[in-house]
């Protein structure tokens, strides 16, 4: 498989062509605004100290969503930043993935809306061709051909913190503003090798010793690692599995957008961009029903029909 390439001075046509290839790429030397010069713990503390944020807190650097080795705490933004950037002797690993303010969890993350004190520091890259018209209808009735932002997500993490391997339903650009970060990706075709539960992998620590002893299929996966320095960004296509490791105190931003052709299939209650498309969710439900029916049969017959179903699915993959 090809390696992740880096591109600079992109224009809209080049960006569109690269996105259409459905393969990650790094964006360097791009103007994302004064955030690249301003944003650090001290500056953000001075701007956001009066606000509060909900953060992940763990005694372990590798966060595992499936085992929940972390807890959620609401903290003062300034205090959170200082603990995150300048940890004391009792090391805690802190992680902010910004969310909306709706207590019912129905609000999509939006830096312009939820962090207006610093919103002007962040510039949307012209090559991404994002629509900024708040009156524009994005769900299929408009002739607008621009990309419509689904969400803009603030991410801040302690040094060494690892975010679990997962996939999203929407394309995104991850901008590294402060610090350095390792991004590891796997193509969608690697799903059989990553021990997926829901949208997340059971393999929490990709750097653990003897990983293949516990997860033997992982040896067949195609791992792509890349390094993001300050000011670098990476395009992560929908359905690509990815995980990040903060090599230093880290500040970043995600720009997520939906595929207009899939507008009718997105789950409208999805505020994170990771709920499966409606037809896929229905298909999963039918698989569960099929397995329940087959469980009534003796093992010999159950295995026979499971093999028959697998054969039909493999045929679909090759046609």
∠ CA 165-167-170, nearest 5°, is 145
Are 307 and 176 in the same domain?
no
Judge contact between 147 and 226, C-beta under 8 A.
Answer: no
pLDDT of residue 187: 97
Q: Write out the residue range of the structural domain in which residue 312 sits.
A: 280-318
What percent of the chain is helix, strand and coil (3-state, nearest 5)?
30, 25, 45
Q: DSSP letter at 220?
A: G
Q: What is the mean pLDDT of residues 60-81?
A: 94
pTM of the model: 0.92
Model confidence band, residue 66 (pLDDT cutoffs 50, 70, 90): very high
Any idea what the CATH number is for the domain that residue 189 is in?
2.60.120.650
Are 199 and 290 in the same domain?
no
∠ CA 179-182-183, nearest 5°, is 125
Are 257 and 290 in the same domain?
no
The packing angle between helices 41-48 and 77-85, to 10°, is: 170
Burial 215-238 (b: 16+ CB within 10 A, else e): beebeebeebebebebbbbbbbbb
pLDDT of residue 104: 63
Are 41 and 59 in the same domain?
yes
Mean pLDDT, rounded, of the chain:
92
Are 163 and 201 in the same domain?
yes
Number of domains, the chain: 2
Are 154 and 285 in the same domain?
no
Q: What is the dihedral of CA 65, 66, 71, 75, to 10 degrees?
A: 20
Question: What digits encode the pLDDT tens for the residues 120-156?
Answer: 999 988 999 998 665 665 555 557 788 988 999 999 9
Model confidence band, residue 165 (pLDDT cutoffs 50, 70, 90): very high
Question: What digits encode the pLDDT tens for the residues 238-286?
Answer: 999 999 999 999 999 999 999 988 989 999 899 999 999 999 999 999 9
């Amino acid at each position: 498989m090809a390696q992740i390439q880096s591109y600079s001075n992109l224009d809209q046509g080049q960006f569109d062509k690269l996105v259409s290839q459905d393969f990650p790429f790094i964006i360097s030397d791009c103007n994302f605004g004064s955030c690249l010069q301003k944003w650090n713990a001290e500056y953000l503390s001075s701007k956001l100290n009066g606000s509060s944020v909900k953060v992940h807190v763990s005694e372990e650097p590798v966060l595992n969503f499936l085992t929940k080795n972390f807890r959620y705490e609401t903290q003062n933004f300034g205090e959170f930043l200082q603990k995150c950037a300048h940890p004391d002797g009792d090391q805690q690993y802190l992680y902010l993935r910004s969310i909306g303010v709706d207590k019912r969890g129905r609000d999509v993350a939006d830096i312009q809306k939820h962090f207006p004190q610093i919103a002007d520091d962040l510039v949307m890259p012209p090559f991404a061709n994002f629509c900024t018209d708040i009156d524009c209808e994005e769900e299929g009735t408009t002739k607008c051909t621009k990309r419509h932002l689904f969400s803009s997500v603030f991410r801040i993490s302690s040094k060494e913190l690892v975010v679990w391997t997962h996939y999203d339903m929407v394309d995104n650009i991850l901008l590294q503003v402060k610090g350095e970060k390792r991004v590891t990706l796997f193509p969608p075709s690697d799903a059989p090798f990553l021990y997926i539960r829901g949208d997340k992998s059971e393999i929490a620590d990709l750097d653990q010793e003897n990983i293949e002893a516990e997860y033997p299929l992982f040896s067949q996966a195609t791992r792509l690692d890349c390094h993001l320095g300050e000011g670098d960004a990476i395009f992560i296509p929908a359905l690509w599995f990815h995980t990040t490791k903060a090599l230093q105190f880290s500040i970043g931003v995600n720009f997520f957008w939906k595929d207009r052709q899939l507008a009718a299939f997105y789950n409208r209650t999805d505020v994170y961009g990771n709920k499966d498309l409606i037809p896929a969710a229905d298909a999963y439900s039918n698989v569960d029903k099929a397995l329940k029916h087959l469980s009534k049969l003796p093992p010999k017959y159950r295995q026979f029909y499971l093999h028959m179903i697998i054969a039909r699915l493999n045929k679909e993959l090759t046609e």
